[in-house]
Amino acid sequence: MRMNRLALTAAGIAGAAALLAVPAQANAAQTTTTGTTVTCGASGLQAGKSTQLCAEVTGDSVRLFGRISLAGPPTPGSEPQTVDLLTSISGQVVGGASLGTASGQTRFTASTVEVPGVSGTVPCGSTVHGSFSVATFPWSPVPVTVDVVVPC
């Protein structure tokens, strides 16, 4: 049986409340491989999807990228709907230069999608702040962020 739109919205709101109840530190994920560290910020709900912004740091290079995935399990027996999402990723060295903004359109069906962002060389000891927004009619963006310190 298909969930009606109201039930789907209520489920999304309940999921968002659960995400907000968990401290942001518990949502952050770090992975280290051969001098590369990936730090992801807390997940958020945007355009009815789960979104997250990650920062990959290798030496003094920083790369920001987004992830879009389903906000919950698909409705049993339903076909996944393809949706075109407007995305934007921006990065800034706190108190310094901009890493720029990457905006575009991302096609999402049901599997997790990685959205390319911006990158740059950053002085060690600097903090990089990134923001990732996703929108589609009728939903406005509610950006997710990540902050990462470039080690010396």
Using one digit for the tens of pLDDT, what is the confidence trace for 59-114? 999 999 999 999 888 778 788 789 999 999 999 999 999 999 999 999 998 899 99
Using one digit for the tens of pLDDT, what is the confidence trace for 31-50? 444 589 999 999 999 988 99
Predicted confidence at residue 34, as pLDDT, reads 56
CA 96 – CA 104 distance, rounded (Å): 25
Q: Which residue has the higher pLDDT, 30 or 71?
A: 71
What are the structural domains, with CATH classification, of the chain? 5-149 (2.60.40.2420)
CA 13 – CA 26 distance, rounded (Å): 20
Residue 55's contacts (CB-CB under 8 Å, 6 or more residues apart) are 38, 39, 40, 62, 63, 64, 128, 130, 146, 148
94 half-sphere exposure, CB direction, 13 A CA radius: 13
Are the C-beta atoms of 121 and 101 separated by less than 8 Å? no
Q: Which residue has the higher pLDDT, 107 or 28?
A: 107
